[in-house]
Amino acid sequence: MSTELLAFAYLVAVALFVLGIKRLSSPATARSGNRLSAIAMLIAVGATLVDASVISYQAIGAGLVVGGVVGVIAAQRVAMTAMPELVAGFNGLGGGASALVAASAFLANSDQAIVPSAALSASVLVGGITFTGSLIALFKLSGKIKGAPVHYPGQKIGDTALGLIAIGLAVAFTISPSPETFWGLSGLALLLGVLRVLPIGGGDMPVVIAFLNSLSGVAASMAGFALGSSVLIIAGAIVGASGLILTGIMVRAMNRTLLGVLAGGFGGTSNGAVTSEKPVRRTTAEDLAPVLAYARSVVIVPGYGLAVAHAQHVMRELADQLESRGVQVRYAIHPVAGRMPGHMNVLLAEADVSYDLLVDMDDINGEFVRTDVALVVGANDVVNPAAREDVDSPIYGMPILNVDHAATVVVIKRSLSPGFAGIDNPLFYMDNTLMMFGDAKQAVGELVSEVKEARYRPSVTLPPPRSGGGWEADGGGSLSELRVSRCKGRPSSLV
Amino acid sequence: MELIAALTVFVLAAFVGFEMINKVPPTLHTPLMSGSNAISGVTLVGAILVAGTGAGTAATILGFMAVVFATINVVGGFMVTDRMLEMFKKNDR
């Protein structure tokens, strides 16, 4: 194929990549967008295969078959809850591939001009860090190594020194390429990936994955500079930019800074000072069901605890039940719900929850004052009002879902144990909060069957918004009404 | 490719990326991440070039590994993204 025709094919591929990503911005068109990107990749790869400089096909054919089989199996077998691990793994492979491309190109032609040399060193450095960093992130996410930050003595100075040496080697290689500097740089890049991710706590892994996603794009782009391939430069740059935006979103949602996350040390630690002597109001499925069944609007706040308990499907059953009774049900999604950006949306989509019911934090927060019941399942820190009110709280300033503005808050939780950040949650002790202790799947399951049978209104008068204490009993009702009003009015069982 | 031309392409592509991704709603952030991740596997193009030039055993072995890595990234990435997006449905009621 002539060079012009080849360049034209790459141009078509790039245009399709752009169109494909553009279509990813709406759930209705996203699937076709992804397929468009896949077609673009097919065109780019197909064009490369007929490139005149490709003269032997054994290694390529074998690689495509092996990689294709592994890729198909991984994509089909992975559980949706394990999506962060899979993305981390794919990130690592992408970065590793770029580093290998640079290494192979270096071996093939070790007498490089200055531009390819700079690009080669950048590609092997960024690609190498992405490879080992992603593997460590993968192991941390899957629990193969502990999530808590791991340090070695003098880490700050040591890492800074290693980083400076790496940059020095990259510059040295650019000026006069030699095998020693190249392989030294490669080894250092792999080491840096391990050392930089190990000290980062498991809770910060969403940020790390997003950032490594960006780096894998940058590495591809650098390989493009080395090989003079515009399709690599462009596609890599787009991915680099997208990863950076996602990183920014995650960092803001967690009230951290990127530098703060990369410095490590946060998470996996608890101040252990949480002794809850304060009274909470307990409730049971039987008492709660009428409250839900006769509410006008219910907002469900799912946390990762919901997915851990495999309670998404039964949650949707409850929502269906309530909707069939005319209750408006929506889901409030915090940006860091789940274990990676947008993870909770995928987990709920898997349970057939319609995506138009999933409302982002900024859109739902103003709605809580008009909400009868906020049902918090398996979430903790993202609904902690201390982030809004308590200047001394470690999570102060983190954007939260304002569930405490709802007339009644129901929290389904195993125990009063603090969340990931190890911070007590004042929400649990508020007058309008009801605690339902237990496994999420079991508790929601009980609610489903109780709501089916709920026949008595909890009270004739619905609460005014933000009344502070739910609604009062009007007295003299049936036994079931009494039970409900007891639970809603004055706490009968203080824990 | 001339350096300055390549840099121009790089910078413009990064801007295009920023502009496009900023409009993606949080609902789609996970598919976006795995989808863009698959696109970063475009390094497969480079892997094929280095694996197929017949430039010595070591270079070919590294090239082969690069093809394997990048293909897993590409094939797995696009497939799992499709699997996720297939589940995103709007129930008409």
List the structure tokens of A231. Answer: 């399709």
Highest mean pLDDT among A8-12, A280-284, A412-416, A426-430: A8-12
With CB atoms and an 8 Å threshold, state whether B37 touches A239: yes
Nearest Cα to Cα of residue A126 among A165, A157, A170:
A170
- Residues A203/A268, Cβ–Cβ less than 8 Å: yes
Average pLDDT in the A104-113 region? 76
Q: How confident is the model at residue A392 (pLDDT cuts 50, 70, 90)?
A: confident
Residue from the list B55, B56, B67 with its beta carbon closest to the beta carbon of A64:
B67
Rounded to a whole number of angstroms, the distance from the CA of A190 to the nearest CA of chain B is 16
Rounded to a whole number of angstroms, the distance from the CA of A109 to the nearest CA of chain B is 8
DSSP 3-state assignment of A391? Answer: coil
- Return the higher-pLDDT residue of A155 and B78: B78
Rounded to a whole number of angstroms, the distance from the CA of A277 to the nearest CA of chain B is 38
With CB atoms and an 8 Å threshold, state whether A25 touches B28: yes
**Hunting for tokens 């690069």 — which residue is that?**
B66
d(CA A291, CA A457): 8
- Residues B79/A137, Cβ–Cβ less than 8 Å: no
Q: What is the pLDDT of residue B46?
A: 93
Average pLDDT in the B11-15 region? 94
The structural domains of chain A, with segments of one domain joined by +, span 3-263, 285-488
| Residues 6 or more apart whose Cβ sits within 8 Å of residue A307 | A81, A338, A344, A347, A378
Q: What is the pLDDT of residue A418?
A: 65
CATH architecture of A285-488: 3-Layer(aba) Sandwich (3.40)
Nearest Cα to Cα of residue A301 among A348, A339, A233:
A348
List the structure tokens of A237. Answer: 């740059």
CA angle (A143 as vertex; A137, A149 as ends), nearest 5: 60
Give the type of residue at A128.
Answer: G
Q: How confident is the model at residue A151 (pLDDT cuts 50, 70, 90)?
A: confident
Least confident segment among A391-395, B39-43, B56-60? A391-395
Average pLDDT in the B32-39 region? 92
A 309-368 residues with CB below 8 A of B?
A: 323, 333, 335, 338, 340-343, 345-346, 349-350, 352, 354-356, 358, 360
Helices and strands, number each (H, E), in chain A? 18, 6
A 139-158 residues with CB below 8 A of B?
A: none
d(CA A420, CA A303): 12
Active site residue A381: yes
With CB atoms and an 8 Å threshold, state whether A232 touches B45: yes
- Residues A393/A424, Cβ–Cβ less than 8 Å: no
Rounded to a whole number of angstroms, the distance from the CA of B5 to the nearest CA of chain A is 10
> Looking at the complex, does the CB of residue A126 fall below 8 Å from at least one CB of chain B?
no
Q: What is the pLDDT of residue A489?
A: 37
A232 interaction partners in chain B (CB closer than 8 Å): 42-43, 45-46
With CB atoms and an 8 Å threshold, state whether A242 touches B75: no
d(CA B20, CA A466): 40
Residue A158 pLDDT greater than 70, yes or no:
yes
d(CA A181, CA A187): 10
In degrees rounded to 5, what are phi and psi of residue A329? -115, 130
ipTM confidence score: 0.94
Residue of chain A with shortest Cα separation from B89? A354
B80 interaction partners in chain A (CB closer than 8 Å): 74-75, 78, 83, 86
* Per-residue burial over A307-324, b = 16 or more CB atoms within 10 Å of its CB, e = otherwise: bebebbebbbbbbebbee
Give the pTM. Answer: 0.84
Q: Per the residue annotation, which of A204, A372, A381, A404 is the catalytic one?
A: A381
Q: What is the pLDDT of residue A111?
A: 59
| Residues 6 or more apart whose Cβ sits within 8 Å of residue A373 | A291, A292, A295, A297, A298, A299, A406, A407, A408, A409, A410
**Tens of pLDDT along A308-348?**
888 999 999 999 999 998 999 999 999 878 888 888 999 99
For chain A, the distance separating the N- and C-terminal CA atoms, rounded to the nearest angstrom, is 78
Residue A471 pLDDT greater than 70, yes or no:
no
With CB atoms and an 8 Å threshold, state whether A90 touches B10: no
Helix, strand, coil percentages (3-state) for chain B, rounded to 5, are 80, 0, 20
Residue A89 pLDDT greater than 70, yes or no:
yes
